[in-house]
Amino acid sequence: TVKLTIDNIPVEVEAGTTILKAAEKAGIHIPTLCYLEGINEIGACRVCVVEVEGARNLMASCVAPVADGMVVKTSSPRVRMARRLNVELLLSNHKMECPTCIRNLNCELQSLAQELGIRQVRFEGRKSEYPIDDSTPALIREPDKCILCRRCVAVCEKVQGVRAIAPMGRGFDTIIAPAFQDKLLNIACVECGQCTLVCPVGALYEKDYTSEVWAALADPEKFVVVQTAPATRVSIGQEFGLPPGSINTGQMVAALRRLGFDRVFDTDFTADLTIMEEGSEFIERFTKGGPLPLITSCSPGWIKFMEHFYPEFIPNVSTCKSPQQMFGAVAKTYYAQKAGIDPARMVVVSIMPCTAKKFECQRPEMTDSGYRDVDYVLTTRELARMIREAGIDFNSLPEEQYDDPLGESTGAAVIFGATGGVMEAALRTAYELITGKALPALDFHDVRGLTGIKEATVDIEGTKVRVAVAHSLGHARQLLERVKAGEQYHFIEIMCCPGGCIGGGGQPIPTNTAIREQRIKGIYQADVEMPLRKSHENPSVQALYREFLGKPLSEKSHHLLHTHYTS
Ligand code: HC0
Ligand code: SF4
């Protein structure tokens, strides 16, 4: 170990620890901006500088390692002046639209200026002028607000393995952009939004559809139906100051009703439906010779990634639409008929933890109901904005119930929101459908948690079923390479975002590893609290088959609930 003092406090840490980490251990906060633990540790912004006795220059504490006997000062006059100067320089070339910026009050640059006591910017700099890129259905890139921290670049490359954006040009002309400064729409960006989660400012963010939804809600001709994704119930509370991972399903339902939605339904209903279809597809392929492995299809960022980078896996990917899209198709057919509503008047809105869902709902093939199956997708962040704008006091809302029948769901559906959940839900059902026996233990711990790639072998009456689960596209890539190298699996779950949907690109900011862990806890807690925990036991899904679809993989199911992919 190494002994040093930081602000006169003796600290002992492992050799190789950075000064930043050592200070954290001693309870000393050093401000950072470009730093993202384990992902972007490049010392570029120089906000985290510290003074080290005997050293001529200030050191970027996020990259400088500790040394024995080091004497560090983290807030000497020289340090504070340097930090201010660095942030002022950033501000001098920043499009300062704070009151109207999407990140107002949740902007790291703004907080930092406040924390460092900056009251004026002494430099009148040249300002960059770049066009805004709003070419995709999901994202906005506003380079004039970019501070070149490179966190987005690091996440896109190291976590997602996509490399859609990179720094280009030099000095003042540096810009973070797709190659040749093309539009995001024209490149292999999968619209996952992970870059929007780590952007410290308003340079990358979701395309906002709240105006369209407000307009639909205000239109007496429209019948506006909303569905909520599994992972939103354990994250929305964070927007209202509640601890990460707290379960606020009932308050979310109440808030949606107060906003004026005509029916408040749950994507969890169609998550259960997905298990019926995908579980049957698995059994069919398993007993009739493949193609295997079957790979899950519910994560649209993953699907886009597969279409760009691994089209050879198209025959392996389940033909099931995602639960969000199944919901739209069922709402505008079965439910519209049942409730006597003209589907032409129906507007389906989704509340999703995801930006790629905005892209998914606009895919041209997603119109099997005869209309656009899902009209608008709002992220968790956008829903929170609507709740605030409507003046609803979220924390004092009563817990309300979803409407019937598309609001009924099981614990198997809620765990879709965490990595490994779709696999676990599928196993709970496949086991019982194949064996005709009750599952002895419902929890499949091997497929839970934040390990990048998880594997398990499940014994279904003597047949060993090999499964694997990957979350984040970087891990998906690794797993697919294993499969290409000859590794044999029967069933694979892939979710685009780290941690699964609880870590989706539309979730509250910040979303980091600690917060992901809390949300995962919330998800499994919500599962145990459900009276029913297996998808095939959902009475409303059973009724849907009885009254409308017939059986899983029926012709009607195929028409409404399944899709195809293009390379
Ligand atoms: Fe997910 Fe989904 S679980 S992708 O993560 O399958 O976004 O939460 O809504 O569609 O159900 C996201 C979350 C969903 C879908 C479901 C799946
Ligand atoms: Fe990369 Fe995802 Fe951002 Fe696209 S949305 S630039 S793929 S991180």
Predicted local distance difference test score (pLDDT) of residue 461: 85
- The catalytic position among 501, 534, 535, 557 is 501
Can you give 92-116 as a three-state secondary structure string? HCCCCCHHHCCCCCCCHHHHHHHHC
Centre of ligand 2 to C-alpha 356, Å, is: 10
Using CA atoms, how far apart are residues 288 and 566, in angstroms rounded to an integer? Answer: 25
Full-model pTM: 0.98
Centre of ligand 2 to C-alpha 87, Å, is: 26
- The catalytic position among 14, 97, 365, 529 is 365
Instruction: Report the b/e string of 212-229 with b at 16+ CB within 10 A.
Output: ebeebbeeeebbbbbbbb
62 is catalytic: no
3-state secondary structure of 553: coil
Strands 223-228 and 346-352: parallel
Contact between residue 291 and residue 566 where contact means Cβ atoms under 8 Å apart: no
- The catalytic position among 207, 304, 332, 357 is 357
Predicted local distance difference test score (pLDDT) of residue 112: 98
CA distances 384 to 175, 217, 259, 392, 459, Å, are: 31, 16, 11, 10, 44
Predicted local distance difference test score (pLDDT) of residue 33: 98
List, for residues 393-419, the tens digit of each pLDDT value.
999 999 999 999 999 999 999 999 999
Does the beta carbon of 191 sit less than 6 angstroms from any atom of ligand 2? yes
List, for residues 250-297, the tens digit of each pLDDT value.
999 999 999 999 999 999 999 999 999 999 999 999 989 899 999 999
Predicted local distance difference test score (pLDDT) of residue 168: 95
Using CA atoms, how far apart are residues 271 and 278, in angstroms rounded to an integer? Answer: 10
List, for residues 289-302, the tens digit of each pLDDT value.
899 999 999 999 99
Predicted local distance difference test score (pLDDT) of residue 27: 98
Terminal Cα distance for the chain, rounded: 53
Does the beta carbon of 138 sit less than 6 angstroms from any atom of ligand 2? no
Residue with tokens 């009475």: 539
Identify which of 140, 141, 143 has the alpha carbon closest to the alpha carbon of residue 130. 143
357 is catalytic: yes
The residue whose CA has the least distance to atom 4 of ligand 1 is 299
Strands 491-495 and 294-295: parallel
157 is catalytic: no
Residue with tokens 């579980």: 279
List, for residues 337-370, the tens digit of each pLDDT value.
999 999 999 999 999 999 999 999 999 999 999 9
318 is catalytic: yes
- What value does the mean pLDDT of the chain take? 97
Predicted local distance difference test score (pLDDT) of residue 131: 97
Ligand nearest to the CA of 156: 2
- The catalytic position among 318, 369, 472, 557 is 318
CA count, 13 A, side-chain hemisphere, 346 = 26
Does the beta carbon of 252 sit less than 6 angstroms from any atom of ligand 2? no
Mean pLDDT of 309-334: 98
CA distances 97 to 107, 172, 195, 382, Å, are: 12, 20, 21, 19
Packed helices 210-218 and 380-389: angle between N→C axes, nearest 10 degrees: 50
Burial class (CB in 10 A: 0-12, 13-18, 19+), 123: exposed
Using CA atoms, how far apart are residues 484 and 482, in angstroms rounded to an integer? Answer: 5
Rounded to the nearest 10 degrees, how much is the dihedral formed by the CA atoms of 165, 166, 169, 175? 50
Does the beta carbon of 192 sit less than 6 angstroms from any atom of ligand 2? yes
Ligand nearest to the CA of 275: 1
| Residue 19 scores a pLDDT above 80 | yes
Q: Which atom of ligand 2 is nearest to the CA of 190?
A: 7
Contact between residue 145 and residue 176 where contact means Cβ atoms under 8 Å apart: no
Does the beta carbon of 231 sit less than 6 angstroms from any atom of ligand 1? yes
pLDDT band at 128 (very low <50, low <70, confident <90, very high): confident
365 is catalytic: yes
158 is catalytic: no
481 is catalytic: no
Does the beta carbon of 503 sit less than 6 angstroms from any atom of ligand 1? no
Can you give 145-161 as a three-state secondary structure string? HCCCCCHHHHHHHHHCC
Residue with tokens 């910026």: 101
Q: Which residues contact 428 (CB under 8 A, 6 or more apart)?
A: 412, 439, 442, 444, 533, 534, 535
Contact between residue 548 and residue 334 where contact means Cβ atoms under 8 Å apart: yes
| Residue 440 scores a pLDDT above 90 | no
Does the beta carbon of 299 sit less than 6 angstroms from any atom of ligand 1? yes
Contact between residue 474 and residue 163 where contact means Cβ atoms under 8 Å apart: no
Mean pLDDT of 531-554: 98
Q: Which atom of ligand 1 is nearest to the CA of 501?
A: 5
Using CA atoms, how far apart are residues 433 and 258, in angstroms rounded to an integer? Answer: 41
3-state secondary structure of 118: coil
Does the beta carbon of 230 sit less than 6 angstroms from any atom of ligand 1? yes
CA distances 215 to 131, 259, 357, Å, are: 28, 12, 21
pLDDT band at 523 (very low <50, low <70, confident <90, very high): very high
The residue whose CA has the least distance to atom 3 of ligand 2 is 195
Residue with tokens 């500790």: 66
Q: Which residues contact 105 (CB under 8 A, 6 or more apart)?
A: none
pLDDT band at 127 (very low <50, low <70, confident <90, very high): confident
Q: What is the DSSP annotation of 488-518?
A: --SEEEEESSTTSGGG-TTS-S---HHHHHH
**Residue 329 phi/psi, 5° resolution?**
-65, -35
CA distances 252 to 15, 35, 299, Å, are: 48, 34, 23
Mean pLDDT of 498-502: 98
List, for residues 208-230, the tens digit of each pLDDT value.
999 999 999 999 999 999 999 99
Centre of ligand 1 to C-alpha 196, Å, is: 19
Ligand nearest to the CA of 39: 2
Predicted local distance difference test score (pLDDT) of residue 567: 87
Ligand nearest to the CA of 417: 1
Contact between residue 236 and residue 248 where contact means Cβ atoms under 8 Å apart: yes
List, for residues 62-79, the tens digit of each pLDDT value.
999 999 999 999 999 999
Q: Angle at the Cα of 227 (from 222 to 233), degrees rounded to 5?
A: 140
Does the beta carbon of 496 sit less than 6 angstroms from any atom of ligand 2? no
Mean pLDDT of 446-471: 95
| Residue 123 scores a pLDDT above 80 | yes
List, for residues 22-66, the tens digit of each pLDDT value.
999 999 999 999 999 999 999 999 999 999 999 999 999 999 999
501 is catalytic: yes
